[in-house]
Structures are given as C-alpha cells and as structure tokens.
Structure 1
Amino acid sequence: MTTKPNASRREFLRTASILSMVGSAGAPFALNLATIGAAAAQTAPTDYKAIVCLFMAGGNDHGNTVMATDSTSWSEYIRLRTTTDAGSIALPAVGNTGGVLPITPLTVQSGRTFALHPSMQALKTVFDAGRVAVVANVGPLIMPTTLAQYKANSVKLPPKLFSHNDQQSLWQSSMPEGAKSGWGGRMGDLLVASNSTPIFTAISVSGNAVFLAGQTINQYQVSNSGAVPINSLSGSLYGSSAAANPLQAIVSADRGNLFEKEQAAVIRRSIAAQGTLATGMLAAGGSGIPNPAQYINPNTGNLATNSLAVQLQTVARIIGGRSALGAKRQIFFVNIGGFDTHDNQRTNQADLLARVAHGLAYFDSMMGSLQGTDFRNQVTLFTASDFGRTFTSNGDGTDHGWGSHHFVMGGAVKGQDMYGLFPVTGVKHDQDVGSGSLLPQFSVDQYGATLASWFGLSATQIADVFPSINNFTQKNIGFMM
C-alpha cells in the first residue's frame, strides 16, 4: 500500500488503523478508538461542551429573516418585495400590527437599523438578553471571492451552486453530494478520546446526516424517545414473550467466521449502548427536562406541537445524562424542513420561523436550568441551511440563492450583536450574483472554525477539519468568547 507523503494527520491515522486491523487476524474489524486517541487522551478536557447544528432544510429566505430597516434599505426592500398580486412577500414595517421586530446590535453599522421576522419574538428575547448573535451572509466558499472573480470564473468556486442536495452537503461536509464525512464528524474524530463511551460523541435526532459522519467515528441516531431499538428483543415475538431472549442470543452470539463475529459484536454494542442511553436519559428526565409547551401558529392563532422543540428536548435530555454516558465533548444534529419557499412564502415561512424561534427559546431555557445549574456556557447551537434565496420575488416566493444570515446561540456566544457588514439591501451591488442572491462574505469554513476553536481544537486540527480554512486570512469570525 502506498500513501501520499503529504497526507493529513487524520488520513495517516486512518491508514495506520486499517493496516493495524489487516495485520491482526484476530482483531475485530471495528476501529479501536482508544488506541488511536491515546495521545489526545493525555490532554483530554475535564469540562463538558456540546455543539448543536440546527439545519433548516430547503434554503431559508434570509431576506425576511433578518432585515435592514433604515429608510434607504427599507424603501428598497418594499420596492423589490412588494408585488402586484396577492402573494406579495414584503412584511409590515416596525410599529405596524404584525410588523418586523427591531433589534439593536452592540456594534453600530453607520446609518443602519435592523429587525427580525415578526414570528421570532421568542428569539428576539434571547438576542436582547445577550445569548444570540447574527452572523451576516455566510455560505460555501473555497477562497475569498469578489464579484468580478465570480463573473470571470477566475477563482475556484464551490461546485454545483444552487443545487439543494449538493449545497446541503457542502454546508455539512465542505464537499458536494456523495461526501463521506462531515465537519461535525471530523471534529468528533479528533475529540472522541475525551469520551469514555465513544459511540455517544456524534448524535443525530433527525436521521442520517453527513454533518456527523466521521473518518473513524459513526454517528449515533436516536428518536425523540431515545435510542432506536432492535425490533423484538424485548416484549413479545409472534405473540410469545419467551421468544425474545432466544432471538437476542441468536443475533448476538459469538461466531467463528470473522464477518459474522463482527456483526454479532456490533449488535452487542448496540444493545449495550441502547441500555446506557436509556438510563442516562431517564436520569436526566427525572432531573427536570419538561416537555416543551405548544407554540402558536401565527397564521391560524392555534396552538400546535413543535417537532423541532421536541428534538431539542431529546438533545437536552442526552446532555443531562452526560455523566452516565461518560461524555465530555458531544456534537448534535437536529433538522426542520420546508424552507424551499418558491410559493406561498409569506405564510409558510412565518410558521417555520415561529417554530425555530420557539424551539431555540425552549432550548435556551432548558440549558439555563439544567439539573439546577445554568449550563448555557457549555452548549452552543448554530443554524445552517442549504443556501439563502434571491432578494427579488417570483410573485409569492423566492428562488435559490447562495449566502444567508444565521444565528448562533449560547452563553459563550458574544451575543446581542451582528458579525460582518450587513449587505446592501436590493440588487446590483458588489455582493449580488443575480436577482439579489448574495456572494458570501464569510465561508462556512470560517463559521465552523470559529465554533471549533471554542470547542477545543487547535489551529492544526481546525485545518484538518476544514480543508479550505487556510485560504482565508481571517480564520475566526469572533462571535465566541
């Protein structure tokens, strides 16, 4: 086997582990993370930290999420987002019934004022309390890019811009659809030695996510009720309660064949992990992780269950059970869909952003009193999405864009502020690649690297996780303490 001499440290460790497995016929095929992480374990953190990715699938319209409301900006906003049909996507101004919600970032941007969508009152409250920051105009970039360079195609650009699947993958992994690992998983690879039970390092509450896929670790997928069990290993099987134990013995018994042996070992670990997680979540629930209250649908005025808040409740319960899980560093993924608002945007986005704001405010309150302790400084949540959308309207919606504004929430966030210059409102400016679609001012790598630095990664490790970060002079946007 040959290896490129300039392979990254992560690739070196991965290759070395494969060689180790091949050279030992009696060893299990599962990677022994303890041996790989031995050096890292010598400086393993004693504190606890968690990062939560909230992915808004479909491409959230940033233009109606965070707005500039100074007179010049607002006039252009109204001009471009008010259409002649009944489907106009322009929102009411500050002070009107149902109008946008003013926010005052600590860093003044001369002559400009800002607001949030009318449905985000719950998030505005957390912003005003200093625990939420707005990061303006983030998106996939390989290197700093100007509008002239974009139009001339004179620098390397992210592949397959404006494609849902590819841009979701780029946001989560720095690579288009088909990526094998995500930057959350790659962070987990480097920090897994901090956890006595490695399987609980990267946890998805919303199915398979490339964000959590590592080179050496596997993401652990849970449902809102906890670990997903192997069917029929408890209770009854074909109407017989006595059949469950023999089934468990069949699927988990040791075997002579190496592949069968490894399959049985995986099943045994799965059964054990399910039990450990159930115990940890039960203990956390007993310590007080109440169910989220229902939210008010702004379109109907009716109360409804917020599935995003329920996902975040599961995250809170797992964090509450961190001691039982032996966890010091954890990375979570939650998801809310429906943001591909080509049509009926004003109605649909109002409900979606109400659920986002309600879910984040609920999670903030849970972290504020986790087992009787304010735990907000240890947990940071950030938002992500496929892309932003065009500033111009197609009638009653918007089309696929590029850069977008995002939120970061937590006690360690330098909150009540906005990071980056807020772009000019409208079209035909130096960040407009067409129809008001934004050329990002910050790359996803810069956004993620700022979180990774707070999480405890060194500059060398950050460069290993984010393949393009060294192309940027500013590697830390500065929104974390």
Structure 2
Amino acid sequence: MKEQSLFNKEVGRRAFLADCGKMTGVGLMASTINLGLVSKMMAARTPGSITDYKGLVCVFLSGGCDSYNMLAPGVGDYQTYLDTRAQLAIAQSNMHNIIDNQTNWDYHLHGNMGGVNNMFNAGDLSFISNIGTLVEPMTKTEYENGTKRKPLGLASHFDQQVQWQNSLPNVRGGSLAGTGWIGRMSEVLNDAANNNASASVNLAPGGNNLLQTSRSGSPLSVSGGANQFELWNEKSHLRNAIEGDLETQYKSVIQNHYNHTREESIEQNNRLAEIEATTTINTPFPNTSLGQQLLQVAKYIKAQGPEGLNSNRQTFLVKQGGYDMHKGVTTRLGGALGTLSAALNAFNEAMHEIGYHDKVVTYTASDFGRTLSSNGSGSDHGWGANHILMGGPVSGGRVFGDYPDLSLGASAVIGRGRMLPTTSVDELHASLAYWFGVTNDNEMETILPNIRNFWTSGSTEVPISGLFG
C-alpha cells in the first residue's frame, strides 16, 4: 500500500492541530505516546490477582510546600515556633491540636485542614516529619564540614523534584537518571510476574512524570479522563484522520511498529476513559483540579475484575501546584492546604465506599520544605519537610520520624532556618516498596541504589518503623 501522509486527508491543518491540542491528555499525539506500559497492563491481567490488590497514590505538591505551617509543634514548643517563624507564624487559636496515639506527644495542624484533622483522629492518616533527599545520613557538623555527600542541586526546584521522584540524589546522568523509583519498581514486579508474582500498572491523572517512568516506558497519562473519551467520539474528522494514518503500511519496519504502538495506546486510553465515564463513585469530590484527579483515581481503582482493568498492582500520580510561595504564605498557604485536605478527605471516604480502604496507600511529596525564617513576606527554598501518609494499611494517628526543634540554633537547622532532614526519602520509598511487594534484597537495591546507607539487606522491619500496622 502506498505511503500516505496524515495531512493528505481532508482535514484542515489548523483544525487538526487545535483538536489534537485538546486531546493530548489521552496521549493521541505521537510526541506523547509511549507504549511501554501497555504491555504491563496486559501482563497484569492474571487470574485471581484482585484478591492481592494494592494501590499506591502519590500526591505531588509542586513548588515546595511550607510544611512547618502545615504541622507545627505542640503546646510546650509553640512559643519557639512563634519566635522563629515571626510574621509567618499562625496563631495557636487558628490551629487544630492533635495527639500522637502512641507517644501522646501533641502537635498543631493548620486550621484549614479540617478533613485531615478528622482522618488523623479516626486513625486513617499519619504524618512523617522532617523528611528530605539524602545520599546518606548526615549531621549538622558533617554538613558544615563537607565530610558527607550532599544531594546535588539543593534548593533547586528542578533537581529536588527529580530527586523526590527518582531517589537518585547524587546522580544527574547515566542509565537510571531518566527513570523514577516507581518506574523501576514496576519493572521489578513485572519481571517477577513471569513467576506468578505481582505486576504493576502506572496511571498518571497528573500528566507525564519521571516518578513512574521506567527504561521500557512512560506512565499512561490519563489527564482529561471521560471528557477526552467524549471528544474522541465527537471529533469524527480527527478520529478518521488518525485511524487512516494508523492503517498506513510503511516501508520502514520501525515506522510500522511505531504505528502499531500508537494504535494500542489509543485503544488503551479509550478503554480507560470509557471506564471512567461509566464507573460511579457516590462520594462527592471537590470540583478542583486535585479533587477531580483523585476522583479519576478512585474510579480506576474501583474498575477491577475480569471486565475491568483487573490489575493487582496500580500506581498513580496526581499533582497540585502553587506551593512556591515567596510571598503571601499566611494567606495563600491556607487556601492550598484547604484544597488538599478536602480532596484527600473525599478520596479516603471513596476508598471506604468501594471497599478498597485497606488496599491503598496515599502519600504526599514536594520539591522541598521551606525556610523557617521569613524573607519579609514569605518563605524561601528549604530542605526537610513534613508529609502525609494515608490509607488503611498505614498505622494511623501517628507522627513518624523526628519532629525537630524549630529554634534557629538547633541541631537540625542550617542556614536561614532550612531543616536538615532526619529521615531520607529513600527510607519512605523503601517502606512503601516493601509493602507493595518488593523483597529487601537485590530487588530493593535495583529500585533504590542508596538504600543500604539506611536499611540493612534482609531486614523485615521497614525503615520507618511501625508505619504499617
């Protein structure tokens, strides 16, 4: 068959590009299609797999969340918080008081996070304190003397977002640099699936990302959801043009293979969008970007079984932007955290509704924490931060890790009130991977190359002790 160009069809070039621009959320343009994970979705369809289902959801807070206003110290240390944060501090009367149900230590939670407060008290949610990117454990003296390796690009948005997603704080190049820790975990589990173990599927309502990218493929971006399915059916000229191009037989084997993968990608995206359009979640979700992304996730989790996705392992990434607050922290942060709290609360209720609450773990991540000291009207790029862990498998009502002394001369505080992390990102990721089904041997080392700086091979107690009940 003679080679044909897509634009030889009777489709106006500008109209075609405009319509494609509306549909990039389901990966219809060649530049966004990577079929590495379509085969993983097929591989995950193993008989009886749903009984062993586990889901992992990353909520990425883009920009660097000022998390020491999200989780502040308890009554006894509140004056130190007020003194250090100065005009950035929140009055104690505008905070929720929460108590760790194991240590009985108290903390304060931002007043706009009523949903998170309720989940913490109900045992559905916990925090991990002062976590950040580390190559190896490091004291303040070692940091100042340069006797331990530091992560590359500290305080850089790009570098720290990358390192939270790939767990390679001392690497910028090499074969692993373009992969995320969840992407590598998926490859390990999918290889193990050939021996009747778990397989993993990565879906990204928040869009393409490094976190879920492996050497064999990118996550399946599903931003746009059901609306994309409707648009695909409405835009018949666009659909016919793309389908006509996909039917073209090329002289190049590579081009033919590429067309085949594009076709499979479109079919998979349409299947996911159709599932979303026809799957009902009764729990109301906020009409915010984050709320709607988490609603998508809830629908994809519900759509298990032989007639649905039938995956025994799923990972998801959703995003909330706007946390780079160099000014207006006291007003802007409250709105962002309120949006986060409402979306997480709805998702938690939805997991209870569909019976998957004990099978799904949700955690937050961000570029970095922010400086305790004010720059005059906001806070600047920091390091260690507080984050949220949510779901039935997590031991709820806890604050894990070491909540630091917030005085500017304290042992975990470096220049301008940046927190030197006392828990590494690797320790969190290893704990999550172990729960997800990765063994603590060479599999874990493949996923997290620096893990032996924090966790002994063969140990069955996760690095964040007590995280899972």
TM-score (norm 2): 0.82
Change (3 A) 1:44 1:244: closer
1:447 maps onto 2:451 in alignment? no
Is contact 1:186-1:214 (8 Å) kept? yes
1:70 maps onto 2:75 in alignment? yes
Change (3 A) 1:316 1:224: farther
Q: CA deviation at 1:113?
A: 2.4
Corresponding residue number in structure 2 for 1:388: 369
1:142 alignment partner, one of 135, 139, 162: 135
What pairs up with 1:104-119 in 2 under 5 angstroms?
104-108=99-103, 112-119=105-112
Corresponding residue number in structure 1 for 2:120: 127
- What's the C-alpha RMSD, in Å, of the aligned pairs? 3.0
Change (3 A) 1:389 1:264: same
Q: Could you tell me which runs of 5 or more consecutive residues in structure 1 were left unpaired when the two chains were aligned.
A: 1-28, 83-87, 238-242, 294-304
Render the CA deviation track for 1:75-123: whole Å, top value 9, x for unaligned. Answer: 11112222xxxxx221111xx3xx11010102326xx521100111111
Q: CA deviation at 1:422?
A: 1.1
Corresponding residue number in structure 2 for 1:398: 379
Q: Which SS does the other structure have where 2:114 is aligned?
A: helix
Corresponding residue number in structure 1 for 2:15: none
Corresponding residue number in structure 2 for 1:350: 334
Is contact 2:229-2:273 (8 Å) kept? no
Query: d(CA) in 1 for partners of 2:118 and 2:36?
Result: 45
Q: CA deviation at 1:388?
A: 0.6
TM superposition outliers: structure 1 runs of 4+ over 6 Å = 29-35, 41-45, 229-233
Q: CA deviation at 1:408?
A: 0.3
Is contact 1:50-1:380 (8 Å) kept? yes
Q: Could you tell me which runs of 5 or more consecutive residues in structure 2 were left unpaired when the two chains were aligned.
A: 1-33, 457-461
Query: d(CA) in 2 for partners of 1:180 and 1:231?
Result: 32
Is contact 2:329-2:378 (8 Å) kept? yes
Q: Which SS does the other structure have where 1:311 is aligned?
A: helix
2:85 alignment partner, one of 71, 81, 84: 81
Query: d(CA) in 2 for partners of 1:134 and 1:259?
Result: 48
Q: Which SS does the other structure have where 1:209 is aligned?
A: coil
Q: CA deviation at 1:206?
A: 1.4
Query: d(CA) in 2 for partners of 1:31 and 1:105?
Result: 43
Is contact 1:200-1:220 (8 Å) kept? no
Is contact 1:77-1:425 (8 Å) kept? yes
Is contact 1:66-1:114 (8 Å) kept? yes
Q: CA deviation at 1:131?
A: 1.1
Q: Residue type of the partner of 2:97?
A: P
What pairs up with 1:180-195 in 2 under 5 angstroms?
180-192=178-190
Aligned-residue sequence identity (percent) comes to: 30
Query: d(CA) in 2 for partners of 1:61 and 1:32?
Result: 35
Query: d(CA) in 2 for partners of 1:337 and 1:275?
Result: 27
Query: d(CA) in 1 for partners of 2:269 and 2:228?
Result: 7
Q: Which SS does the other structure have where 1:62 is aligned?
A: coil
Corresponding residue number in structure 2 for 1:208: 208
Q: Residue type of the partner of 2:338?
A: A
Q: Residue type of the partner of 1:136?
A: S
Corresponding residue number in structure 1 for 2:324: 340
Render the CA deviation track for 1:213-267: whole Å, top value 9, x for unaligned. Answer: 1122321001242485698776332xxxxx8446413224443411211121112
Query: d(CA) in 2 for partners of 1:429 and 1:308?
Result: 36
Query: d(CA) in 1 for partners of 2:261 and 2:38?
Result: 15
Query: How many residues were matched structurally?
Result: 418
Change (3 A) 1:32 1:225: closer
